[in-house]
């Protein structure tokens, strides 16, 4: 029996968790597909992350995460672990994402 990859990788989110939203600038990205999409996928795979979007044009990352499982420091180290050229600046918690 083959396991459907999408279902297997889908995370269960704690309905009682407190979610926070963070926005930060990612410097060093050179392309939308290779850089922004890769960083977005890495963040999205983190345990406790509910939503992740990396906007290449604005150099902006928007992440909604479970405060009990994820910290801004963890988000930053995930980004910088993708490649040395990426730098996270301007990390801040927001009530709503700037594009909402």
Tally of CB atoms within 10 A around 83: 14
* The predicted structure's pLDDT at residue 7: 41
The enclosing H or E element of 36 equals: none
**HEC sequence for 46-98:** CCCEEEEEEECCCCEEEEEEECCCCCHHHHHHHHHHHCCCCEEEEEEEECCCC
pLDDT tens series, the chain, 100 aa: 444 444 444 566 777 889 999 999 999 999 998 899 999 999 999 999 999 999 999 999 999 999 999 999 999 999 999 999 999 999 999 999 986 5
* The predicted structure's pLDDT at residue 92: 95
Structural domain includes residue 3:
no
The CATH code of the domain that includes 24 is 3.30.70.100
Structural domain includes residue 100:
no
* The predicted structure's pLDDT at residue 46: 96
Structural domain includes residue 59:
yes
CB-based contact 28:42 (threshold 8 Å):
no
Predicted TM-score of the model (pTM) = 0.84
- Which domain covers residue 30, as residue numbers? 17-94
Give the count of domains, the chain. Answer: 1
- Give 6's contacts (C-beta < 8 A, 6+ positions apart): none
Structural domain includes residue 5:
no
* The predicted structure's pLDDT at residue 100: 59
Structural domain includes residue 11:
no
């Amino acid at each position: 029996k083959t396991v459907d990859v999408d279902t297997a990788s889908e995370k269960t989110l704690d309905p009682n968790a407190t979610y926070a939203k963070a926005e930060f600038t990612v410097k060093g990205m050179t392309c939308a597909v290779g850089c922004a999409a890769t960083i977005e996928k890495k963040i999205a795979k983190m345990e406790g992350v509910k939503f992740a979007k990396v906007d290449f044009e604005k150099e902006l990352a928007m992440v909604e995460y479970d405060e009990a499982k994820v910290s801004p420091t963890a988000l930053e180290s995930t980004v910088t672990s993708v490649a040395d050229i990426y730098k996270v600046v301007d990390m801040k918690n927001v009530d709503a994402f700037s594009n909402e």
